[in-house]
Amino acid sequence: MDQKRKEDAADLQRRSLLKNTAVATIGLSALSAVSGPEAHAEEIIQAREIIPEVVQQSSRPTVRESVRITKLETIMVKPRWLFLKVHTNADVVGLGEPIVEGRALTSAAAIKEIEPYLIGKDPRAVVHHCQAIYRHAFYRGGPVLTSALSGVDQALWDIKGKLLGVPVYELLGGPTRQRIRVYAHARTPDQIRECKSRGFTAFKTDLARLNGRYARAVENKAWIENDVAQFAALREIVGKDGDIGIDFHGAVPPATAKILMKELEQFQPFFYEEIINSQNVDLMAELAKTTHIPIATGERHFTKWGFRQILEKGAATILQPDLCHAGGITEVRLIAGMAEAYYASIAPHNPLGPISLAAGLQIAASIPNFLCQEQVSLGDGYIKNPFKVRDGYVDLPTAPGLGIELDDNAMADKIGHDWRNAETYDPDDGSVTDW
Ligand SMILES: [Mg+2]
């Protein structure tokens, strides 16, 4: 009898747990975790019977209820961003940031061309929709199409998380960490000090822009020495216990990059980013072998296929996929897995807005090989409850979906922009330079 009572009590406890946990929100796939690996068919059948009862207590639609996409809305937002709202018939709106910098109108047009496919579809089949949008295009990839896809992907994950009442990282097996390190842009000693006062411990500078002109194919000694001196000054303020990376911005020709990498190594930068234009991965791999500093790259690579060659050729050990370019959360999660097999880490690129940041934080919280998240805005003036930095980190988001909510009132004066890419020329002969 004692044994029977124990079994009955255990059964009751299991049933209670099933009812009191958010069974309807985490789906049948989680039932084996709730019931333990020994769960058998009968228990699953019982659980199926329990789900409708729980569903009726929840206002959130479930896998059994109809949810359809009704409209895609793009909004140009200062300084150079494009926000996407994916509307549904379930009173849930997904947010995304489908933007190629300098091509906001083109990106909006790409979204307009995706809209007919998504209207009337269930938004929760995120991977299926990404596959359809990417593969049915026939001409696959490229920055415009993968950026549009990225924004859609973010919005669909946002909807899915909101419908299920959990952050996206919960759906991806996270959290994998308790807080998330972020870094700030800083090009001058004063900017470093200001960022430190705001709580940052990691930074990135862009030395290619500090010399009065951009690097030439073969640079003179004065140009190199000036760059090195400027970085030395920044490094001293950052301190030995802080980190500062250097973005070559793909704007330094290989011969000059090679000298600069050698001269700057003594200061142990966090990383060298885009040491040359990323179109020649073989050459980047060759240069990577000449230094002990980690090479970072990725903002101008798209999808798992774009990152495959970087890893295979050893061109970088820090991958910087952009959540708004590389294919969104779905694709960056896969890229992170590929990187893990090469002992490479992920530092999501992000010179964009708070939706991009929010998507990056969801990735950071769901992968093991995260390094640091780039940001240029913590969302002040754009979202309710902007992110806050403490000791170099932001807290793990806890709200459903991407974890943010746009502040339409605060954004009212930021609607619309006509931002264009910089035109840069050599001051001595007027020839076109990279920027
Ligand atoms: Mg960069």
Residue 237 Cα to ligand 1 middle (Å): 22
6: which residues sit within 8 A by CB, 6+ positions away?
none
Ligand 1 center to 250 CA (angstroms) = 8
Q: How far is the CA of 147 from the centre of ligand 1 (A)?
A: 16
* CATH code that applies to domain 169-414: 3.20.20.120
> How much is the mean pLDDT over the chain?
88
Q: What is the CA(248)–ligand 1 centre distance, in A?
A: 7
pTM of the predicted model as reported, rounded to 2 decimal places: 0.85
State yes or no: pLDDT of 14 exceeds 80. no
Q: What Cα–Cα distance (Å) separates residue 231 from each residue in 19, 392, 434?
A: 59, 21, 21
Is residue 87 annotated as part of the catalytic site, yes or no? no
Cα of 178 vs centre of ligand 1, distance in Å, is: 27
Q: Which tens digit of pLDDT belongs to each residue from 385-428?
A: 999 999 999 999 999 999 999 999 999 999 999 999 999 999 99
pLDDT, tens digit, for every residue of 127-167? Answer: 999 999 999 999 999 999 999 999 999 999 999 999 999 99
Strands 318-319 and 93-96: unpaired
CA 427, distance to chain mean position in Å, is 36
Three-state SS for 228-276 is HHHHHHHHHHHCCCCEEEEECCCCCCHHHHHHHHHHHHHHCCCCEECCC
Q: Per mean pLDDT, which range of 4-18, 215-229, 307-321, 351-365 is the poorest?
A: 4-18
Residue 178 pLDDT class (50, 70, 90 cuts) = very high
CB count in 10 Å sphere of residue 33: 11
| Cα(338) to centroid(ligand 1), Å | 21
Q: For the beta carbon of residue 293, count every other beta carbon within 10 angstroms.
A: 20
Q: Which of 129, 301, 325, 349 is catalytic?
A: 349
Ligand 1 centre to CA of 373 (Å) is: 13
pLDDT-derived band at 1, boundaries 50, 70, 90: very low
The confidence score (pLDDT) of residue 113 equals 98
Given a cut of 70, is residue 25 above it in pLDDT?
no
Query: With 70 as the cut, is the pLDDT of residue 42 above it?
Result: no
Q: Hey, where are the domains in the chain?
A: 2-57, 69-165, 169-414
| 69-165 is classed CATH 3.30.390.10 | yes
Whether pLDDT at 4 is above 90: no
Tokens of 213: 């002109």
Measure 276 CA to ligand 1 centroid, in angstroms: 11
Lowest mean pLDDT among 59-68, 110-119, 239-248: 59-68
Quick one: average pLDDT of 55-64? Answer: 54
Using the mean position of ligand 1's atoms as its centre, give its distance from the Cα of residue 128 in Å: 31
Q: Which of 372, 336, 379 is nearest to 357 (CA)?
A: 379
pLDDT at 53 over 80: no
Ligand 1 centre distance from Cα of residue 70 (Å): 36
Q: What confidence tens digit (pLDDT) does each residue in 329-348 have?
A: 999 999 999 999 999 999 99
Instruction: Give the three-class secondary structure for 401.
Output: strand
Which has the closest alpha carbon to 193: 239, 227, 247? 239
Q: Which of 87, 129, 249, 301 is catalytic?
A: 249
What distances in angstroms separate CA 90 from CA 66, 86, 97, 409, one per listed residue?
Answer: 8, 11, 21, 23
Task: Lowest mean pLDDT of 10-24, 88-102, 163-177, name the range.
Answer: 10-24
Q: Rounded distance, CA 262 to CA 96, Å?
A: 40
> At 214, is the pLDDT very low, low, confident or very high (cuts 50, 70, 90)?
confident
